[in-house]
Structure 1
Amino acid sequence: MGAREAARGPRPGPPRPARTGLHAPDCEEAPQGAPLLDADRALDTAEHPGTPLCTLCGAAQELAPRLRGRQASAGPP
């Protein structure tokens, strides 16, 4: 999953935890009909506690380091 590639996640609207988690676009575990999210939207959604990242398709391996980088650049609360 590249920086510009989308992830499959929850329906559009305000970011919220995904019930089924975030998956790579080609993941067999992604729910049928799940919308494609751009990278920023996927990261916004993944920031919410309780949003699972799929470990089978590589979404967790791709998004987790980017989340850590985002949180570090935001600085302390």
Structure 2
Amino acid sequence: MRVLTVVVVMVLILLVAGLVAAYVAYPHRGEQMPAAPWLGDAMARAVDAAPVLAEEDEKVFALDPPREHGDAEQRH
């Protein structure tokens, strides 16, 4: 039973990885998928519906500007 669970989980992981690779190869660049255009359209709609960080929110995660050597000693 445990082996079956591992096999099923690994197959699901491979499917998700394949979908991500297919999305990056075609819809993310604005091209149609040659074999399954309906799949590319569905992935593009799903990505458009997903929440993303706004540009001003990204500044929160930016690295701090370089500090002078004296500031580092004061923090310790």
Structure-2-length-normalised TM-score: 0.32
| Higher RCO, 1 vs 2 (CA within 8 Å, ≥6 residues apart) | 1
Name the structure with the higher strand share.
1
Name the structure with the higher helix share.
2
Structure-1-length-normalised TM-score: 0.31
